Structure 1
């Protein structure tokens, strides 16, 4: 069944439909004709309202749950509302400041992305999602720090500000100069390369005997690089925060749906594929319920927007996931603003 165009609905039907959707999104309860009749500006009798609601139900835009006399919007109705009738509200000053302060704090990009999901989750009362950049960052600096006798720390810094640390075993008699020499060698030889390219190059250098450093430093270089043998592209691509929000204020009859959604969030690859569909969008994209097979059981909605790097290339997607009863008018601009703030951070 295709969605009824707004142009085919009378103004009376549009007004009643809007009241039903907005009331349902506010409190989650079915909306009856008596409630609608009290809406300012309608001035219609409950009987007239019931007739229009019946028509909207036949169009597939409203449904009557259980034996209730009230109506709720269907997923088709929600799609019609968000695409053609919703009046989005810009994030408040407090919301903008909260998002910017979390994202712009100094630290590795991974920490900023994790903070992004947390702040979005808190502001939207949903679970926050962010898909991290697929492209490997370029390397900037390597260094080694001695932690104790026989143990040290290999530190890798990316040009995007990301920092990764790995604990590694050190020879008991390793000197401070060998630590410095190994770090300087790696920085000079592999700065500006991706980690996978550097790993490939160092293997060739070792085999060809082209490493112009002493044996102690050479052993340290090999130990250090051995801690980064996992291909970065195989690492988890999705950060999820705030799953507990999905359990709060849920009616008992919604718990099965929420549990199903939590199970779906465990399948990060499936969620990542869904978010990938928002990479080409100009602004926030909305996925409602069974429009996506992944949410056919939980009846959930995702609002997602792409963010870009300094070259204007899309590198990831940020968004929220929750029940279809979302405050779309508030959350959609919030997700858009978050994506824009992330893009500014990466420039």
Structure 2
């Protein structure tokens, strides 16, 4: 729905003042801050039209108005003036934290940087690791106790204990490992599991059971090592009254951080888009709370998008400041992980 210049100017002024102060904005204040030479009556009429369109709302306790999720959406999509931040300063702060360490450490540092710069919660969806193995080995420890050794393509080694119903000989264990490595090495465990049922009928049942047990355990091992989301600064949100003003909001907030399901869905959706995305509570079904917004951007490794990072905060956040922080951090994380 198209808004004329006056309506856009008033909506922009209202959202910016509400973000700054958190109080409903009256017509008199709008007349003063908008820069428009309009009578209070004209401003009231325009605000009434904006309310009818669903861009602003009037709280019962005040004659002033506040932006609705729809109003925030118009603001961030068409009216927002992104703040020119000192990119050199921000880049130096971020680069300093993302220079050294393992990929996991760099990702954890990125979440901390997002939190410290925004003063909200920083979140990074880690790259998805396929449950691919390079080779496996079976080592007989004692009767019916076998050590499963899984070697990943990058050389990482994981060990797990298998308790079996049958006492396998060392020769049988070598035979089973050789069969899996020759036929399935370099494949994902999930794919191997599907093929095992059809392709191992020529082997004895007890050998088949051993291989199936190894694949099940191997798949679980890979899943255990994949920490899907790294979150930093959750406690910052406890000081945001919009999000922690009542027990229902607090419960939803902590459920989101504990279960991570809705957060993963949101980050997964944003990884399929380009550039910065803004999800506003009350408008996006992916945001679990009406008063919450999430600003995200995808990041890459060697030119391929592998995850998403972002800032979680109230809908009443300074988007013009948070957007460039998220954008710059995504680019610098991409550089750090690619090199």
Partner of 2:199: none
Task: Provide the C-alpha distance between the structure 2 equivalents of 1:254 and 1:164, rounded to a whole number of angstroms.
Answer: 47
Task: Provide the C-alpha distance between the structure 1 equivalents of 2:253 and 2:124, rounded to a whole number of angstroms.
Answer: 17
Task: Provide the C-alpha distance between the structure 2 equivalents of 1:240 and 1:86, rounded to a whole number of angstroms.
Answer: 27
Partner of 2:261: 269
Deviates more, 1:14-23 or 1:94-103: 94-103
Shift of 1:113: 0.6
Task: Provide the C-alpha distance between the structure 2 equivalents of 1:283 and 1:301, rounded to a whole number of angstroms.
Answer: 17
- Check whether the contact 1:284–1:332 (CA below 8 A) recurs between aligned residues: yes
The structure-2 alpha-carbon separation of the partners of 1:48 and 1:272, relative to structure 1 and needing over 3 Å to count, comes to same
Shift of 1:98: 1.5
Partner of 1:110: 104
> Any idea what SS the aligned residue of 1:346 has?
helix
- Check whether the contact 1:279–1:316 (CA below 8 A) recurs between aligned residues: yes
Partner of 2:77: 83
2:273 aligned with 1:281? yes
Shift of 1:158: 8.4
- Check whether the contact 1:134–1:233 (CA below 8 A) recurs between aligned residues: no
Partner of 2:141: none
Match of 1:128 among 89, 112, 122: 122
> Any idea what SS the aligned residue of 2:49 has?
helix
2:318 aligned with 1:324? no
Partner of 2:93: 98
Partner of 2:301: 309
Question: Which runs of structure 2 are paired with 1:61-72 in the superposition (5 Å)?
Answer: 61-72=55-66
- Check whether the contact 2:266–2:287 (CA below 8 A) recurs between aligned residues: no
Question: Which runs of structure 2 are paired with 1:219-230 in the superposition (5 Å)?
Answer: 230=220
Shift of 1:110: 0.6
> Any idea what SS the aligned residue of 2:241 has?
coil
Shift of 1:38: 1.4
- Check whether the contact 1:246–1:258 (CA below 8 A) recurs between aligned residues: no
Task: Provide the C-alpha distance between the structure 1 equivalents of 2:81 and 2:59, rounded to a whole number of angstroms.
Answer: 27
Question: Which runs of structure 2 are paired with 1:146-295 in the superposition (5 Å)?
Answer: 230-234=220-224, 235-250=226-241, 254-256=245-247, 257-295=249-287
- Check whether the contact 2:131–2:223 (CA below 8 A) recurs between aligned residues: no
2:22 aligned with 1:22? no
> Any idea what SS the aligned residue of 1:304 has?
strand
TM-score of the aligned structures, taking structure 2 as reference length: 0.71
Shift of 1:253: 7.5
Shift of 1:136: 4.4
Task: Provide the C-alpha distance between the structure 2 equivalents of 1:138 and 1:346, rounded to a whole number of angstroms.
Answer: 20
- Check whether the contact 2:242–2:291 (CA below 8 A) recurs between aligned residues: no
Partner of 1:54: 48
Task: Provide the C-alpha distance between the structure 1 equivalents of 2:332 and 2:250, rounded to a whole number of angstroms.
Answer: 30
Shift of 1:118: 0.9
TM-score of the aligned structures, taking structure 1 as reference length: 0.70
> Any idea what SS the aligned residue of 1:65 has?
coil
Where structure 1 has 5 or more consecutive residues not aligned to the other structure, the ranges are 141-153, 169-188, 201-226
Where structure 2 has 5 or more consecutive residues not aligned to the other structure, the ranges are 135-148, 162-180, 193-216
The structure-2 alpha-carbon separation of the partners of 1:280 and 1:11, relative to structure 1 and needing over 3 Å to count, comes to same
Task: Provide the C-alpha distance between the structure 2 equivalents of 1:158 and 1:111, rounded to a whole number of angstroms.
Answer: 20
Shift of 1:294: 4.4
> Any idea what SS the aligned residue of 1:231 has?
helix
